[in-house]
Amino acid sequence: MMLVRRSGPSPAARSVPAERLLAEIQALDVTHVLNVPDTHQKTLLALLAKQEQPKLVTTCTEDEALAMHAGLYVGGQRPMISIQNTGLCACMNAMRGILLEGRVPALLLIGLLHREPDLPSRQSRVLTVRLTEPTLEAWNIPYYLMESEDDLHFLREAYQRSYDERGPVVVLLGAKTA
Amino acid sequence: MLRREAAEALADAKGDAISLVTMQAGQPWAESGGSEVLNLNVVGCMGAASTWALGIALAQPEKRVIVLDGDGSLLMQLGSLVTIGAQAPARFYHFVFENGTYGTSGNQPMPSQVHDFCGLARSAGYKATFSFEDAAALRQALPEVLATTGPVFIRLAIQPEHTELSGSGTPNTAEQVEKLKAALTM
């Protein structure tokens, strides 16, 4: 199984317009975005807050976001999760106990907080950034690197893959949304 | 009140509600018949049952959702009270078994006995709270409790007990997810 998808060899991460990201999310018929606020997704979150669909739901912790996601899925909705890389570290037990053991399809859009735009995340001077990809690989969680507008299609691929493989699939957002 | 007595009263009152149970309440809930239909036993992720139930309640607002939670589990995710209060599902009933100990690991005391869960729930936005120390009183009041507009928080004061949770005997979460999803959406 191929764990990682990236569009090219360039290590540079460039901003993705929030409007286009929102359009991709809406095209997937996502009903709810479970969110713990993320600096990289600030402009996307501002847009989501104005939408009726998907409904933006802010939770106190990432654990709650993952559990609510599972409940909405069980109840027939099409949710997704929006957090940042520090939040990923915070919710690994919920990742195991809910999404992995429950085999719950889940798209997680994760901002790489403090990622240096011109360095690959594995070479980051920031430990949280540097650990993100190896952490996902250690847990066998597929992930995609969204490094520019050209990578917007990864969102649909990741969403579909989460249903095909019945589990969590991550899209790592390399730069702040514009 | 024994945990089993409370579980039996809740099972008798469950009706067509969806139930989520966690930790020590799982076994008496199953033995009382509460887990036979529309049920999910949340294992291996302390504190997640209530927000898992919240997701179901938002997806299926016409259905009654009841949660059988523990005080140790609630303390693991105390912020969940705020999240539930903010979303305010009208048919959401959060029962918390309170005995001040971590039952599964051997009844070790919780960090403090100085807390008022009902007060915390009210402050977090729950619409109503109840507290019971006696199984007969609980049984008698359940029709009123389950007719109250939610989210409703119900404290159940129980005696410390201890049941080993066997790793091999724990329910398969993926099977439970698919079974409940099929029941709710097909």
Residue B36 to residues A174, B16, B26, B44, Cα–Cα distance (Å): 46, 11, 12, 20
Cα separation, A172 vs A45, whole angstroms: 16
Find chain B residues with C-beta within 8 A of A53's C-beta: none
CA distance B55 to chain A (A): 4
B3-185: CATH number: 3.40.50.970
Instruction: Give the pLDDT of residue A71.
Output: 98
Dihedral of alpha carbons B136, B140, B141, B146, sign: positive
Residue A3 confidence (pLDDT) above 90 = no
Across the interface, do A61 and B180 touch by the CB < 8 Å criterion? no
The verdict on residue A96 lying in a domain is yes
The count of domains in chain A is 1
**What mean pLDDT is reported for chain A?**
94
C-alpha angle B105-B37-A105 in degrees, rounded to nearest 5? 75
Exposure string of A54-74, with b = 16+ CB inside 10 Å and e = fewer, is: bbbbbbbbbbbbbbbbbbbbb
Q: ipTM score of the complex?
A: 0.95
The verdict on residue A69 lying in a domain is yes
Summarised one tens digit per residue, pLDDT across range B47-97 is 999 999 999 999 999 999 999 999 999 999 999 999 999 999 999 999 999
Q: Please give the biggest Cα pair distance in chain B.
A: 46
Q: Please give the biggest Cα pair distance in chain A.
A: 42
Residue B168 confidence (pLDDT) above 90 = no
The verdict on residue A3 lying in a domain is no
Cα separation, A103 vs B154, whole angstroms: 31
The verdict on residue A146 lying in a domain is yes
- pLDDT band, very low/low/confident/very high, at B104 (cuts 50, 70, 90): confident
Residue A8 confidence (pLDDT) above 80 = no
* Both tokens assigned to B41: 């036993």
Q: Which domain holds residue A89?
A: 13-173
> Mean pLDDT over residues A91-96, rounded?
97
Report the run of H or E that residue B64 belongs to, with start and end: none
Across the interface, do B173 and A76 touch by the CB < 8 Å criterion? no
| CATH code of A50's domain | 3.40.50.970
Across the interface, do B56 and A57 touch by the CB < 8 Å criterion? no
Residue B118 confidence (pLDDT) above 60 = yes
Cα separation, A102 vs A105, whole angstroms: 9
Query: Where are chain B's structural domains?
Result: 3-185
